[in-house]
Each structure stands twice: as structure tokens, then as C-alpha cells.
Structure 1
């Protein structure tokens, strides 16, 4: 997701600092305005240009580590859990406080998942003013930066996933993507990402202006006062509903950057690291179906099946039923199914490539009937559907008896094989195809086009460059090789 503390309260310089130098005719003073897209004039080769020309910060070592730390984030991410650990040993946990802490965890967590993430970062639905204020207020209690700052980083994550311009690049390792990227200064400036739409939102501007006051109020003061006036447990409210709850919210949302890029499957696309897993969904308030999300980021859902855990989706759906949300975006089911089918076919292709298949007809010698008969006197060769088969390894294993094969040596056994004597199973067709050693010139009988391809290969997964069937090729007679492989 994004960093814990928004230490930058004037993001209006974003476009000027993050956009690479342009030629004078392309430069626009309007880029310095919050309401003009910051990526309006970036070059087509922006990513490669940036990686080539942007200088990274120096490596962190013993001589400079203290200069490279993000001190505010470090303090929040260390002092808060320290308070929670101290409180666990020194403050009695009342059941009322325990229940309230869980509820407050979901309250502030939904501010991130339903608010920061799906509403503002991805514009997956529209929210009424009351709901926007509710989510902005709740999100401040998660202490992960203002809406505008958080969304700017998250949009960069989606645009530059798994690259050096991704603020929490999963390829840098689990620890880095989970928390490491927040402990030190960014090693390079983030890739440009537009947030001009958020600059026009009065609620986003309000939260950004009062962010520091809001994190203290919602993060610690409010839960402490509720527990104090509710059941006289101010210290419990501060420790458990404040500090401990904040630790859980932090690492819950951080798991979307780390665990969701490490654990699970890729049912929609495996080009990048995001994955789907129920465990990740359980610890991230429904954000665990991350492979789906990266494929269809504008969809208000993370989980598309009714039984998959996604309380954020349920919250948005209920809000819509109450008239507090509208225009819930969903990606067309047909296109979602295409993504799933693509990956299913890819996995079938991988399994298919691990199997042995009948030899390509283009690789088999084409011989005349006379040559076939001559060689059949030396070894057991049988013609079926225009292919010459060496059945020496199977004669004694034939379920119908050796004699049925023996009487077909040197002959065309097509009629007998295709139901004249026995209508053989798919398994028999597949096994027979592995015994092919040649092609009889002019030997394909009319009406047997569908019999040339073994059943196992009739639905074989092929790349677009392989769509021409090897069995449909025409090969001129070449009796010169004289021998069947």
C-alpha cells in the first residue's frame, strides 16, 4: 500500500520533480498546477528514459545509514509496537476494550481498503459526501499518509509494477516490499503518476490540510476517549484500541504489498508478481485476491465469487444499497473469463509439453506401397489410416490376441481397426500413433481426414504460430530413402 506517515504536505511540486526534462516546445508551465495531469507531456519512452538518466541514491552503508533513514516512519513503526508490547504485559485487557479494538481495526482498515484504495486510488465507485468524509476520517486513523500522497504512490505501483519505479517493488524481496521501503529514503524518485483528479476533490484537500491533527485525533485520542467514557478504561483504549490496533492495521495493509505478491496463484495473468490467496484476503480485509485486482484494477471487487472473503466489497455493496455509493464498476464477465481461460490453457500447454506425442508427419518418410510391402517382410508393419506402424513391441500385448495383428502385417488394417473387427478406444488410437514410422504415398482413404489425428491431439493447445496442423501438409513421394525409421 503506502507509507505510514505523510511527511510531505505540499504535493503541488510533484509534476515538476517527477517528470523528466523535456525539449522546450513540450514543456508546459501548466504542469506545475495540481489540476493538470502530471503525465500529460511525458515521452513515450518515459520508463527507459528515467531508468537511464535518473541517478539513484548512494548505497546504504555504515558510514551513511543514519542519513538514509526515514526517521518519522521509523519512529511510528517502532514506537507504536513498543507501546503495544509494553501494554500487553502491564495493562489489563477488558473484554469491552478487546471487542472495541477489533471493531475499530475494521473501521480504520476500511478507510484504507474501501476509501484510499478502491474509491480514490482506482475510482472503482462513486461515494456520497457523507461516505467520503467517513472514509477520509477513518483512513486518517490508519496513519498511512494522506489520501493524495497515498494514492500517488499506489498509482505508481500499478503503472510500474515490479520495476525500479515501483515504490514497493516485490522483486526487491519480501522485507523490502512489506516494510523496508518505508524505513529508508526512496532509492530513486517514483515514476510519474497523475493525481490531478484528487486535487479537485474538496474532501481530499480537507484531509490533506488537517492530516497531522487527524492522525492524532482518530489514531489515539478518539479510541482512548471512547474507552474512558464507555467503561472507564482510558489506558486500555490508548494501548489496545490505539497502539496495538494500529500495528495490526499497518501490517494488514502492508501485506498487500508483500504477501499478496508472494503467496498464492495467478489465475488471470502471470506476467507480474501479484497473486490470489485466501490467507492474504483474511489478513487484509479482502485485498488478497491481488492477481485479479492487478488485472482489473477499476473493479470495485477483489473477490468475484460469492464465497470468497472480501468484506470491503460487501461494505461498498451495502453502501450502494443504502444510497451512499453508486456506479459500482465491474469488469465484463466475458473478459474476466478470457483471462482465466488464457491461464488455464497456458498451464495445459505446460503439462502438454511434458508428454510424448506421435511423430510429426513431416518428419516421417513417404514411401510407396511396394516399398512398404518389401519392408513388411522384415518386420511387422501395418497400415492404418495412411500411416505405417511398426507393431513389433505390441503384438504380444494386444488384448485381442497376437493373431489379429499378425494377419494384418503387410496389409491395410484401417477398416478392421475402425470398427470392422473392433471399434478401438481413444487410448488405443493414442497408443497406435506412437508406433508410426512412415506415411504411405496416396494411402489416405477418402473420409478418414478426422482419423489421422490421435484423439489426444485433436484439442491440443497450440500457439498462434502453430495453427497449421502438421497432419494437413502434403508431401511428395520420396521413395529414395527406402527405409522406415
Structure 2
């Protein structure tokens, strides 16, 4: 019964996505690029001007043809039914695991599964997101290995693939080149994007993203090469066998509760950042983008819910403007790692830079706006030192070549090695 109900829900949701073709066929907004034009080609010695002109014309025609195929051909979504089937099976197993918690009194096993979810969450938030995708800080080898294993426990593709898709998301947010474009609806941004073929723009624009720094890390290369050996052991085998041998639990409970239910819940926690954090919340830093700040999502996703801030300053290791760790456990973890010398060069945003941006492009929901209105803060004095009128929000992180000079100058580097 459960698979049929879940499968019907997926089909109804996908039908709704398909009817949203108006959004699917929009042209992609391109970010700035520094690629050389074909006109920069220097003719070889002895090559005639006519031959050179003919070659340039041919190259131009091929480029135009390729552009037309990507951006002008109407896009028709194709459902990947194999992925749909896998999600139906996964959620059926997770529901059965939920039933076993009550039927077998497997509350301790569920708690152990939650601890695994926390470790997997750190692999996503502190590891593949803030470290590898955005280069918001640097980590020594032991920490990178630990985060790689935690990211494998989370099973959300390899570090390389995760970073590639996430950098494309930041660079081309809410366009056809965005892998989980929120303009195509909540369900698509949440999980539907994994149940259909990627829009051609995702692949084409993805080729423009610099991934050389990712492949230069030997930890990433090791995981990429052995991913389908490391991932099953970390994600399914160890979480199931540990309570089996330590607590004497049945293999049935260990597998369905500690492995499958935990995995499904951790996936939805991450997916909420792509969906709910683009729909329900405030935009205190930039009112002209879809990403929002959501306290609920931040609690579920270990500090990743301050998404409006994060899209404006993706290179901040805190991924939010917070003075405490109450809603940002990942930042607490990274500060502890910095204290013991495993994390260093943690980059963050100065208060002056934040306040200037809030005043210029925020939606008025930031606390400082109310303070200014009540004459409690001298905003002019705080921002007089900066000329920060040309921030670029479409950057994937610190090493993005398009990051503006003012962001680099205004960044705060904490505890450099």
C-alpha cells in the first residue's frame, strides 16, 4: 500500500511540474565570463587571410548552432523512471522503519540513527558545502578525511559532483541552468530535480565552472575513485552493524531504522535548503533573489537555513549572521576545529559590510533597520569607511574569479594558520 500511495504522490507532483513549461523554457541569464573569443586566434605562418576568415566563419556558425540548440529549442522534461522507482523503494523502507520504532520499541536505535544523521550532516554542511564548494575556510588533512567519510555517510553523490552542482546553483540561481531551479516549483526544487533529466543549460553552463581546486585535493580524488566502495560501507553497512553487535538489536531494526529511515530523513533535511529556504522566510540582505532566511530550516539543516545571507555572501564560513550557535551548530563545530588547529583561514563578513548591504537591498526585516529607525544605531558612522555599492551576488565562493574587490578587501580572516 505504501509504495502505491507514495508513487501516486510523485506522479501527481511531476504532472504539476510538467504543466509549468512557461518557466522551463525561459532563457538562462548568463554570468560574466572571461573566456577568449574565437577572434583572438592568431593565424599560423603561411595561412591565407581567406582561409582564416573561412575558419572563423565556420567556428562562429558552430557556436551559434550550439547556442541555439541549448537556449532556443523548447525544453521538454523527461522523467527518469528508474530514479522514481528508487525513491519509492527508499521511502517505503523508511516508513517501515518508522513503524518498527513503535512495534519493536526501537527508540534507542532511532537515537543512534539520529547521531549518524548528525555526522552525515556535518559532512554536508561543514565539508562539501562550506569547505569544498565555497572555500570559506581551509582544513588540514585529518579534518578533510573525517569530513569526506561523513559526506560519504550522507550519500548525496561524491564531493566532486556535489560541488559542481552547487556551484552551478549559485552561479545561475533560478535559471534553467540551476539544477534545482526554484522557479519550477517547490517539489522540483525539493526532490523532483533528481527524478528527471537535467535541463541542457545545466550541463552547458556547468562546463564554465572552475573545478580545478576540487580535483587538486587528494582526499577528493581518493573518494571520487572509490566512491561506490566507500559510500555503501559508510552509509548502510556500518550504521546497521554497529547497533546489531553493540546493542544486540535485530538486523531488521538496524537496517530499516538506522540505515534507511535515517538516510531518508537526512536527505529531506538537505532538500529543504533547496526548497523551503527559497519560498518561506525573510530577505533581510537581498530582496531581489528567491533565497530566504528560515529559522526552522536552519534548525533542521544544522545552520544552513540562513539562505538569503548565504547567497549574498557564500564565502562566509558561518553561512549566516549570528552571534551565537543556537541555530548554527556547524559554525560551533568549525570554531572548535579552529581552536584545536584543524581549521584555519576562516573567512567572514564585517559588520559594516553587512549593514551597508541591508540598508541598500534588504526587505526591511533586518533588526538593524528597526534600530536605525529608532535612532539606536549610527549607520553612517559604521559604513562611512566602505564603498560597497557594486557587490556581485552571483559567485560560488571565495575563489570565484568574479568576486568583487570590495568583498575581498572587506572580508575578515579568522585564526589564520
TM bucket by the smaller chain? 0.5 to 0.7
Whole-angstrom CA distance in 1 between matches of 2:176 and 2:254: 41
Q: CA RMSD in A?
A: 2.8
Asked if the contact 1:96–1:231 (Cα under 8 Å) also holds between the matched residues in 2, the reply is no
Correspondence 1:236 to 2:253: yes
Deviations along 1:87-121, whole A, 9 cap, x unmatched?
A: 33356242321221111110011101110100000
**Unaligned 5+ residue runs, structure 1?**
1-18, 28-47, 349-463, 465-485
Correspondence 1:336 to 2:354: yes
Asked if the contact 2:164–2:211 (Cα under 8 Å) also holds between the matched residues in 1, the reply is yes
Asked if the contact 2:293–2:305 (Cα under 8 Å) also holds between the matched residues in 1, the reply is yes
Structure 1 residue 162 displacement after superposition: 1.2
Going from structure 1 to structure 2, the CA distance change for 1:345 and 1:247 (only over 3 Å counts) comes to: closer
Question: Which residue pairs with 2:5 in the alignment?
Answer: none
Structure with more helix by fraction:
2
Asked if the contact 1:157–1:166 (Cα under 8 Å) also holds between the matched residues in 2, the reply is yes
Question: Which residue pairs with 1:306 in the alignment?
Answer: 323
Structure 1 residue 345 displacement after superposition: 8.2
Going from structure 1 to structure 2, the CA distance change for 1:149 and 1:342 (only over 3 Å counts) comes to: same
Deviations along 1:36-83, whole A, 9 cap, x unmatched?
A: xxxxxxxxxxxx9987551557524xxxx5xx4162x43442222211
Whole-angstrom CA distance in 1 between matches of 2:66 and 2:332: 40
- 1:54 is paired with a residue whose SS is helix
Correspondence 1:23 to 2:35: no
| Matches for 1:46-61 after TM superposition, within 5 Å | 52-54=68-70, 59-60=76-77
- 2:224 is paired with a residue whose SS is helix
Whole-angstrom CA distance in 1 between matches of 2:166 and 2:353: 24
Going from structure 1 to structure 2, the CA distance change for 1:51 and 1:142 (only over 3 Å counts) comes to: farther
Correspondence 1:272 to 2:289: yes
Correspondence 1:175 to 2:187: yes
Question: Which residue pairs with 1:222 in the alignment?
Answer: 238
Deviations along 1:345-389, whole A, 9 cap, x unmatched?
A: 8789xxxxxxxxxxxxxxxxxxxxxxxxxxxxxxxxxxxxxxxxx
Asked if the contact 1:57–1:187 (Cα under 8 Å) also holds between the matched residues in 2, the reply is no
Going from structure 1 to structure 2, the CA distance change for 1:119 and 1:49 (only over 3 Å counts) comes to: farther
Asked if the contact 1:148–1:204 (Cα under 8 Å) also holds between the matched residues in 2, the reply is yes
Whole-angstrom CA distance in 1 between matches of 2:128 and 2:169: 14
Going from structure 1 to structure 2, the CA distance change for 1:289 and 1:209 (only over 3 Å counts) comes to: same
Question: Which residue pairs with 2:84 in the alignment?
Answer: 74
Asked if the contact 1:74–1:183 (Cα under 8 Å) also holds between the matched residues in 2, the reply is yes
**How many residues of Structure 1 are paired with residues of Structure 2 in the alignment?**
304
User: After the TM superposition, which parts of structure 1 deviate over 6 Å for at least 4 consecutive aligned residues?
Assistant: 19-22, 48-51, 345-348
Asked if the contact 2:283–2:362 (Cα under 8 Å) also holds between the matched residues in 1, the reply is no
Question: Which residue pairs with 1:139 in the alignment?
Answer: 151
Asked if the contact 1:303–1:309 (Cα under 8 Å) also holds between the matched residues in 2, the reply is no
**Unaligned 5+ residue runs, structure 2?**
1-33, 43-63, 367-388, 390-417
Deviations along 1:129-173, whole A, 9 cap, x unmatched?
A: 111111111111111100001100100000111111111111111
Going from structure 1 to structure 2, the CA distance change for 1:223 and 1:236 (only over 3 Å counts) comes to: same
Which structure would you say has the larger RCO, counting Cα contacts within 8 Å and 6 or more residues apart? 2
Correspondence 1:116 to 2:128: yes
Q: TM-score when scaled to structure 1? A: 0.58
Question: Which residue pairs with 2:94 in the alignment?
Answer: 84
Return the match for 1:251 from 260, 263, 268. 268
Whole-angstrom CA distance in 2 between matches of 1:337 and 1:21: 37
Deviations along 1:384-427, whole A, 9 cap, x unmatched?
A: xxxxxxxxxxxxxxxxxxxxxxxxxxxxxxxxxxxxxxxxxxxx
